[in-house]
């Protein structure tokens, strides 16, 4: 990605579990990973299996420096880290951020533990890149020159963090793994997304799936595309990106969700692997390649 820009690229857009196959080729089957090049800073959000694809892309660069932010440490958001090739290469630098889990485990401990036997053949210590770990406090704002990253808590079992990135009057919000409240919009989500140029948000279910009396998803920590549209309208966002697709939703199903969502909020797209969005003062440019 070029410097002096605000560009977003999607490497993994699914939730829960990877779902490769003939019915997911257009949107992709990898779990959450979003890259942002913001000015001279590379920010990576979550380390699902999409992180492996990003890592392959970064092999053309040397050295690689990036900030890696985790929303939380459920498997679908960390399972790509052991396969992130640039982390094994000396000379690369990754600053890694997350809020400690409710049980006190830091992100360093969590990533270390998932690479222990019998889960993985080599330990975290074999990674030769410079890995710097930081424990976030929910609500703090981080600054990297003229880039700022805001944090707020999200409504998710085991806790999760939402992020907002600001640069030169442009902004993007990354809001994944959050469940809406039945009687109101979430003030934390509204604060992170208010008048954002791009809002990337959890839209795992439809309202019908969420409220299904036979197989209710209430309390599972995820939201619906209908609720995402309500947030987009209330927060006056410019571009809505539906994200964290249910692994049971094939390409055709997601197409239909997009069609229905655009009837209510025309500036809606669905995240797909390879999607690139460049933020500009005059409006975003979307590349579906």
Query: Mean pLDDT for each consecutive 10-residue tract of the chain (289 residues)?
Result: 84 98 98 98 99 98 97 97 98 98 95 96 97 97 98 95 98 97 96 98 97 93 97 98 98 99 98 97 78
CA distance 47 to 32: 7
Closest CA to 102 of 47, 175, 157, 179: 157
Predicted pLDDT at 288:
72
Q: Is residue 171 part of a domain?
A: yes
Predicted pLDDT at 281:
82
Largest CA-CA distance found in the chain, in angstroms, rounded: 54
Q: Is residue 109 part of a domain?
A: yes
Q: Is residue 95 part of a domain?
A: yes
Domain count, the chain: 1
Vertex 169, ends 54 and 269: CA angle to 5°?
50
H or E element: which one contains 133?
strand 130-135
Predicted pLDDT at 3:
67
Q: Is residue 1 part of a domain?
A: no
CATH number where 89 lies: 3.60.15.10
Q: Is residue 248 part of a domain?
A: yes
Query: Looking at residue 83, what DSSP letter applies?
Result: G
Residues 6+ apart with CB under 8 A from 64: 42, 58, 86, 89, 92, 93, 94, 129
User: What 3-state DSSP class applies to 17?
Assistant: coil
Predicted pLDDT at 54:
99
Predicted pLDDT at 216:
94
- Sign of the Cα torsion 62, 68, 74, 76 reads negative
Range of the domain at 234: 6-287
Predicted pLDDT at 59:
96
Q: How many residues does the chain have?
A: 289
């Amino acid at each position: 990605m070029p410097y002096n820009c605000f560009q977003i690229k999607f490497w993994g857009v699914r939730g829960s579990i990877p779902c490769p196959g003939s019915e997911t080729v257009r949107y992709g089957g990898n779990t959450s990973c979003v890259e942002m090049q913001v000015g001279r800073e590379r920010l990576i959000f979550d380390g699902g299996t999409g992180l492996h694809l990003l890592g392959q892309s970064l092999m053309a660069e040397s050295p690689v420096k990036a900030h890696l932010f985790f929303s939380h440490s459920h498997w679908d958001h960390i399972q790509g880290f052991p396969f992130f090739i640039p982390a094994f290469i000396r000379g690369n630098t990754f600053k890694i951020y997350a809020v400690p889990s409710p049980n006190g485990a830091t992100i360093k401990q969590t990533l270390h533990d998932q690479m222990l036997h019998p889960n993985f053949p080599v330990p975290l210590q074999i990674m030769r890149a410079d890995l710097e770990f930081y424990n976030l406090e929910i609500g703090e704002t981080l600054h990297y020159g003229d880039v700022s990253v805001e944090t707020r808590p999200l409504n998710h079992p085991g806790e999760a963090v939402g992020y907002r990135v600001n640069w030169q009057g442009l902004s993007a919000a990354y809001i994944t793994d959050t469940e809406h409240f039945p009687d109101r919009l979430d003030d934390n989500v509204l604060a992170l997304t208010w008048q954002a140029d791009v809002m990337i948000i959890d839209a795992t279910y439809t309202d019908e799936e969420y409220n299904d009396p036979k197989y209710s998803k209430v309390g599972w920590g995820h939201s619906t595309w209908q609720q995402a549209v309500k947030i987009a309208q209330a927060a006056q966002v410019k571009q809505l990106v539906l994200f964290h697709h249910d692994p049971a939703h094939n390409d055709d199903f997601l197409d239909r969700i997009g069609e229905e969502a655009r009837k209510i909020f025309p500036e809606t797209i669905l995240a797909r692997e390879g999607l690139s969005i460049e933020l500009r003062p005059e409006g975003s440019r979307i590349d579906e390649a």
